[in-house]
Structure 1
């Protein structure tokens, strides 16, 4: 049970770090990835396909942000499973795979990939932010477990 709790806390820390970076950098750099726009499009299309009216404006942003934090926290929490010897390596691998997925999957899912592929710099930042989230998760889990021992 302690392992699951440390995984969830670590995953949440990584997801929050990822979103803080996204929100901060998009305010100061025109080339910053706009994963939030991809998420908003996905939520809108998904709700419309079910015959529901999607939220708009700030409500759409908050719904997307909440879903993003929760889904990334769940995904990042998987970093804590397996041998502790490879925790940081798993953090990097999961973060890199999430970043590469964020760049390559939107178009394949029928979504606009422009917010994350606009420039090479945008693509690199997208992958880097998810990598950082994975590493924050791994370090958080490692720290929690070290204090528990």
Structure 2
């Protein structure tokens, strides 16, 4: 599989996830603020190495870049050997990523409030990651039309 066919679909899913997050973050009540978790993680790393963490837009940009890279790497697992398998993996990996965002923060020593503050926030978090997984599957299938139906 060439680089375009292996990287573009998961990057598409990651971009969909982040665009949906950013559009909703400032417009929808109780929307997840996944960016705050990334920003906190960056600040913690800087503090652990004895450095002053970046602030404001710089920390936000670092969090978004890290999020795009991490989600792109994760969504690379969506590719299947058939169309149904690819759709199933997109759905499953999306749901698992969303649930992971809800449950991994606290064990990592991060504040889970940005994704766990209400039932609505939790549902939206899982939905965002699921949309990313399904967008990855759609992009992968669009670039790999040779895959079997079964």
> TM-score category by the smaller chain?
over 0.9
For residue 82 of structure 2, what is the aligned residue in structure 1?
84
Q: Give the secondary-structure state (helix, strand or coil) at the position aligned to 2:106.
A: helix
| Residues 7 and 78 in structure 1, CA contact (< 8 A), matched pair in contact too | no
Asked whether the 8 Å contact 1:87–1:138 carries over to 2, the reply is yes
For 2:102 and 2:24, the matched residues in 1 are separated by: 17
Cα distance, 1:54 vs structure 2: 1.8
Q: Alpha-carbon deviation of 1:83?
A: 1.7
Moved over 4 A (4+): none
Aligned to 1:122: 121
Greater helix share, 1 or 2? 1
Q: Which runs of 5+ in 2 are unaligned?
A: none
Gaps of 5+ in 1: none
TM-score where L is the length of structure 1: 0.93
Q: How many pairs does the alignment contain?
A: 146
Q: 1:29 — aligned with what?
A: 28
- In the TM superposition, what is the alpha-carbon distance from 1:7 to its structure 2 partner? 2.6
- Give the aligned partner of residue 52 of structure 1: 51
Cα distance in 1, alignment partners of residues 92 and 100 from structure 2: 12
Please give the secondary structure, in 1, of the residue aligned with 2:104: helix
Cα RMSD (Å)? 1.5
